[in-house]
Structure 1
Amino acid sequence: MPSGKSIKVATRSSPLSIAQTNETITQLKKTLPEHTFEIVALESEGDRRKTEDLSKLERGVFAKTVELALLDGRADIAVHSAKDVPAEILEELQIAGYLRRQDPRDVLVHSGSETLRELPKGFRLGTSSQRRACQILRIRPDLQVVPIRGNVDSRISFVDTKEVDGVVLAASGILRLGLEKHISSFISTRDCVPDVGQGAILVQCSSHDESIYGLLNQALDAKTEIEVTSERAFLSFVSASCKSPVAAHSVLDGGSLNMIAMAGLPDGSEYYFVEHSSKPNSPDKAGEELALKLAKSGAAHLLGKLIV
């Protein structure tokens, strides 16, 4: 890439996406100080389909429009929330890497400070995530889960309205927007296994441009890359026919890649949880092993036909 070239960065137009893109640009400038960056903000298909049930939208609905800007040359790189990018991406595109992961946990936002186990019976929690609903209702079947959609600010504004008493959000989004004062309590990753890639920012580029790939990858975080690669391998190994809530989360701790995964039903009536440890030198294989372990735990009927 020529020195001094302006790099066009495609992303969603939501406040969180813009904040993540600015964070990415700040990081990239450390190793690419001779370049300037221009944000190309786009409204995604998922943003346009605001009234539809989130659980009915396919994974990738928030990423497609941004990827298209890479394909047609409107942008040089793309910045996504890693959890928005499907396991299988187009051959013309590649993942250059990830920024250092922000806190991957989910959080409760409500007017008090009670934890999930301390909330009063019948408390109405807003979330459109079947993954969150499954794990919340497994622990607290006496709570009510109410579907809501919107960006981080709008979902926070639902608190103490006629619709809900509180909401469940990703900690990373709240922290990146500087809204941490709204957090009532954190939910541990064992109580609510995060979505694949949650808390990580994914940087994407053309698979035909190895020069920009090399520049981007050296600026990004190797630890997060190993963790999220293993999670995405888990997701890839679970068949596309899987419509049940599933999740996986990895933590690289020294020489060990420690992974957890879950599968269940949205009402929490069925729930499977497994742990797996592996060496970090083959995160793709580790993710596949995790998926098979989850299937063998009794969750096979929820996972669709595993790709073997």
Structure 2
Amino acid sequence: MQTDVVRIGTRGSALALAQAAETRARLMAAHDLPEEAFEIVVIRTSGDRIQDRPLSEAGGKGLFTKEIEQALLDGRIDLAAHSSKDMPTVLPDGLEISAFLEREDVRDVFIGRSVKRIEDLPHGAKLGTSSLRRQALVLRLRPDLEVGMFRGNVQTRLRKLEDGVAEGTLLAMAGLKRLKMEHVASSVMDPEAFPPALGQGAICLETRIGDERVTSLINAIDHGPTGAALTCERAFLAVLDGSCRTPIAGQAIIEGDRIRFSGMVLTPDGSEAHEISGEGQASEAHQIGSEAGARVRDKAGTRFFESWD
């Protein structure tokens, strides 16, 4: 039986803490361990500190992970629980993603002050979001809207909405469900018309390479189908460099031993979009994602990405 306390590193937002608590609960159940066998260690990241500008201008995805990863490398924590959509495609030397928890709802939701749907917003209304993907998809649907920066955790964004900073915003359904706040959603976006972020809804667990003690613990809660889907999505992202300055969306769906992938790249103003799809055996997830990335890059042309990188 495990006796040493396992330290789980996480950001300090309510959602991040809920994800770490879910990780702990799954480990407790899988190994019949008490809560005291685990410690949740809160680490403040650059992404949490920077609130005055879009993350795409401040350095991108790694801003939510690098301090946590340094703690992992230094041995201050034993594993890190991350939102998969925050993870860069290239990890620091010595670290690996060892497990994915079963994926939650991948869809985005719209939350409006006075209307239920994006389509019902008045002409020229302001919608707040910190996501370039959501900005591009909104402007693709409603080019008349004014999209402004909306940073902060879920509670902060809802408070800004109440204060009239914007007439609407978008959040991930997965996060609301983990916070038991899905009731605040005004409407749920159709993922075919409004595809999610790659990795959205999935918690990933990062560990030190070669740490057999921790890896053997989390192997028991690894969800294979989610892992295959995320392998495909992250391979797609890796081919496109995953720049936070290029809106990229998509989703891989596992059906038995098959995988279906659909992806999209857009200009930030939503005026141009290129879609791609692929399918095959789930065991070929990485190849399917990589090939889809290469095909959409060829389809859009390198100048499309250079314009925003």
Please state whether the residue corresponding to 2:102 is helix, strand or coil: coil
Q: Residue in 1 aligned with 2:14?
A: 15
- Per mean C-alpha deviation after superposition, the further-off stretch among 170-179 and 241-250 is 241-250
Which residue is equivalent to 1:298? 300
Equivalences for residues 131-146 of structure 1 within 5 A? 131-146=133-148
Matched-pair contact (CA < 8 Å) for 1:264–1:299: no
State the distance in 2 between where 1:291 and 1:202 align. 22
CA contact (8 A) 1:113 1:185 kept: no
Q: Alpha carbon RMSD of aligned pairs, Å?
A: 1.9
Write the letter of the residue equivalent to 1:25. R
Match of 1:229 among 223, 227, 231: 231
Give secondary structure in 2 for the equivalent of 1:60. Answer: helix
Pairing of 1:12-51 with structure 2 (within 5 A): 12-34=11-33, 36-51=37-52
Verify the 8 A CA contact 1:239 1:303 in the aligned structure 2: no
Among all aligned residue pairs of Structure 1 and Structure 2, give the percentage whose two residues are the same amino acid.
34
- Choose which of 172, 187, 190 in structure 2 pairs with 1:188: 190
Query: How far apart, CA to CA, are the structure 2 residues paired with 1:23 and 1:112?
Result: 34
**Aligned mates of 1:268, 1:22 — CA distance in 2:** 37
1:104 and 1:112 mapped to 2: Cα distance?
Answer: 25
CA displacement, residues 179-204 of structure 1 (integer Å, 9 cap, x when unaligned): 11110011121222211211100111
Matched residues, number: 304
CA deviation after TM superposition for structure 1 residue 4, in Å: 2.0
Cα gap change, 1:240 to 1:133, in 2 (>3 Å) = closer
Given that residues 11 and 80 in structure 1 are in contact (C-alpha distance below 8 angstroms), is that contact kept between their aligned partners in structure 2? yes
Alignment of 1:86-101 (within 5 A): 86-101=88-103
| Letter in structure 2 aligned against 1:220 | D
CA distance in 2, matches of 1:4, 1:290: 45
Distance 1:137 1:224, change over 3 A: same
Amino acid across the alignment from 1:9: I
CA distance in 1, matches of 2:82, 2:142: 32
Secondary structure of the 1:219 match is coil
Offset of residue 74 of structure 1: 0.7
- Deviation sequence 1:200-221 (CA, Å, 0-9, x none): 0011111021332132122221
Partner of 1:3: 2
Q: TM-score, normalised by structure 2?
A: 0.93
Q: Matched residues in 1 for 2:73 and 2:244: separation? A: 28
Return closer, same or farther for 1:261/1:40 CA change in 2, 3 Å cut-off: same
| Amino acid paired to 2:3 | G
Q: Report deviation, 1:52.
A: 2.4
Structure 1 CA distance for aligned equivalents of residues 113 and 52 of structure 2:
26
Partners of 2:219 and 2:202 lie apart in 1 by 15
Query: What residue identity is the alignment partner of 1:61?
Result: L
Query: Runs of 5+ in structure 2 lacking a partner?
Result: none
Question: Secondary structure in 2 aligned to 1:251?
Answer: strand
Match of 2:274 in 1: 272
* Deviation of the 1:242 alpha carbon: 7.7
1:246 aligned partner: 248
